[in-house]
Structure 1
Amino acid sequence: MPPYGQPSTVPAPYGPPRNGMGVAALVLGLVGVFLGMAVFLFWASWLPALLAVVFGFVGLGHVKQGRANNRGLAMAGLILGNVGLLMALGGGAFTVVSVKAFAEHADESILEIEASESAEAAEEAKAEEAERAREAAKHLALGETYTYENGLKVTVAKPRPYTPGEIAFGHEKGEKAIQLVVTVDNPTSGTVTMDTHLPYVNDAEGVDADLLIDSSNQQRVLKTTFPPGKKAVGKYAYSLPGDAADKIEVSLITDYGFVYWAGPTTAE
């Protein structure tokens, strides 16, 4: 027993202050807030923030029980932990919204690209169809008229039998002699120039016809200049083998391209 009148020494119920929880809460709270500031690191910030809240509550419990004396640190860690959790939630929500917006934008871009590709494909198909139509328009029956873009109208008449003169080149006895008449009409108001080559003739089986030149003076070569409102006529003679097919193909070559006519070897 201590002497009378002297205060008795009461042993402390606990040992030295246990401030580790409060310090840990503060450190983890700072880490959670720091990571939360980088929005897209929300997935890494929520765990230290949550631990800061837990350690903060435990630290405050220790302070109330007298086991610790760093209430301020524990409270700061608790507050920072909550802030970190809020930032993690906000970062998560922002990331979800951003990813959704990006996905929608990507979908729109893909749809735009697909629509553009579809439109381009449609335009290409349209252009190809137009080209096929232009090519089809260049294949006519003998006697029909083709109109060039410059306005000139060209007609290859149905062929008719031709009797060569006494002197003839490109024709042998027993062969079929025919005459082709090519008419060029210029209905425009201006003079049009067009180089026209000799017509190329073959039968349906691909047998070439020979250009027939004779002394009958019945042939006439087209000129290259066509006055407005005038017509020009070219007359050409050709010789086919006696057993040639009963159908001929005529190709007229100009500086505007090829045009084709086809029909019976002689007019009916």
Structure 2
Amino acid sequence: MTVPTPSDGRQPGDRIPDDHDPWRPPPPGTTPPPRWESYPMAPLPAPQARNGMGITALVLGIVGLVLGLLIILFWMSWLPALLAVIFGSVGMSQARRGRATNKGMALAGVILGVVGLLAAAGGAVLTVTAVKKVTDDARAKVKEVKASASASEKARHLSFGEPYTFENGLKVTVAEPKPYTPDDYVLGHAKGNKAVQVIVKVLNTGTERVKVDTGLPEVSDADGASAELLIDGSGRQKVITGYVLPGKEAIGKYAFSLPPDAADKIEVEFSPDAMEWQDAYWSGPTTG
């Protein structure tokens, strides 16, 4: 290995003189020792700001608020509003640590998110209230209809001698049934049965003539069975047909045959037009 020769001309291994000055410049003609030059260090790049949370919070807050203000879409607003609060809080935390520069944007996202949550809650309350009101109104309407139907049904059940006026202006009254003695020539009357006569009066209380399309009543005995219409040759029976003039009265006379064990009470069902008006009912005991 070769040892380099010192710059002052000494040989390796020579003794250093006592008066040697290391800071003295080298004698002329000698090569100066190498010098190390220092270079300025390049500045470290500044860390990039993390503003994504604040931007996201602001966007979600706007979306949540807009959806919250639209009543029909309130159920969609709570999620973006909640995320706006969360992301905005994270963005503000990063801004306090110097990692973000949009603290105001993050704060705006939090505020909008809170307002969006309140709007969603208000929309939910409003919707529940509206649905409850509609439900209550519907229930009240059903009760009203049932009550009206019940009242109407009750009004159509009468005792013999009571009048009932149909909507076409015809006031109908069924008189109390009386015993009826048929002629020798008779149809629809079994031996041993009891015959009764039913008289129906129809008065036109309106200002126009009204046609009676259903002139025959239906009679049920005490057991609820249909009584048979009795026909004989006496000419005492009369069927209501045609029109009833204003202020005029039409009278129908009919005879029915009842079994002896169910002849103490009957029900008469009658309507001037069974296709349009519901029947009215007259009931009570039979005389004789």
Q: Which residue of 2 aligns with 1:218?
A: 236
Q: Which runs of 4+ in 1 moved over 6 A?
A: 8-12
Deviates more, 1:227-236 or 1:198-207: 198-207
Residue ranges of structure 1 left out of the alignment (5+ in a row): 57-80
Does the alignment pair 1:231 with 2:256? no
CA RMSD in angstroms, aligned pairs only: 2.7
CA distance in 1, matches of 2:172, 2:228: 22
Check conservation: 2:270, 2:281, Cα contact below 8 A. yes
Residues paired across the two proteins, number: 233
Secondary structure at the residue paired with 2:154?
Answer: helix
Q: CA 1:42–1:87 in structure 2 vs 1: closer, same or farther (change >3 Å)?
A: farther
Which stretch of structure 1 is more off in the superposition, 36-45 or 238-247?
36-45
Is the Cα contact below 8 Å between 1:249 and 1:260 reproduced in 2? yes
* Map of 2:120 onto structure 1: 102
Alpha carbons of structure 1 residues 89 and 3: separation in structure 2 relative to 1, 3 Å = farther
TM-score normalised by L of structure 2: 0.72
Query: What is the CA distance between 1:100 and its match in structure 2?
Result: 0.4
1:70 aligned residue: none
* 2:165 pairs with 1:147: yes
Aligned counterpart, 2:224: 206
Q: Tell me, yes or no, if the aligned pair for 2:220 and 2:227 is still in contact at 8 Å.
A: yes
User: Structure 1's 172 and 37: CA in aligned 2 closer, same or farther, altered over 3 A?
Assistant: closer
Instruction: Give the direction of change, closer, same or farther, for the CA distance of 1:11–1:3 in structure 2 (3 Å limit).
Output: farther
SS of match in other structure, 2:149: helix
**Is 1:196–1:224's contact at 8 Å kept on the other side of the alignment?**
no
Sequence identity, in percent?
A: 37
Q: Output the amino acid matched with 1:226.
A: V
Determine helix, strand or coil for the equivalent of 1:182: strand
Give the Cα–Cα distance (whole angstroms) in 2 for the partners of residues 116 and 212 of structure 1. Answer: 56
Question: Which of these residues, 137, 140, 146, is aligned with residue 122 of structure 1?
Answer: 140
| Deviations 1:18-66, CA, capped at 9 Å, x for gaps | 524xx21xx224445543542434533554664455357xxxxxxxxxx
Instruction: Indicate whether 1:38 and 2:59 are aligned.
Output: yes
Cα drift, residue 157 of structure 1: 0.5
Structure whose alpha-carbon radius of gyration is higher: 2
Query: What TM-score do the two structures reach when normalised by structure 1?
Result: 0.77
Please state if 1:175 is matched with 2:200.
no
Equivalence map 1:243-254=2 (5 Å)? 243-253=261-271, 254=273
